[in-house]
Amino acid sequence: MTLLCLSVAAARSNLEVVTASVKGYPEPMTVLIDSGASFNFATKASVARNNALYASALEASKSNTNVSVRLATGSIVSTRKVTIPLSVKFDDF
């Protein structure tokens, strides 16, 4: 799974949220399930918990490409695109 890092996060209590184990991170992460999303996203604060992985991704993403994303609130944010390959495990899946 490839996640794009977002520095802005929004959540509503009526959204589908689960906890998942992510390879390279000792603590589980909270994951928002959005079946209509074109990509998967993570907050910068979440992925930065593994400094080595995040630093490597920043180095690989030398371009200053931005991506616009519509959040669950309906607002649109623009942020630097940083792609990080992550393995996510939900229970036994």
Domain boundaries, the chain: 2-89
Backbone angles phi, psi at 90, to 5 degrees: -105, 110
Closest CA to 85 of 64, 63, 56, 65: 56
Question: Half-sphere exposure of 6 toward its Cβ, with a 13 Å CA cutoff?
Answer: 17
Q: What is the mean pLDDT of each run of 10 residues along the chain (93 residues)?
A: 44 66 82 74 81 83 80 84 75 61
For residue 12, the model assigns a pLDDT of 47
For residue 76, the model assigns a pLDDT of 92
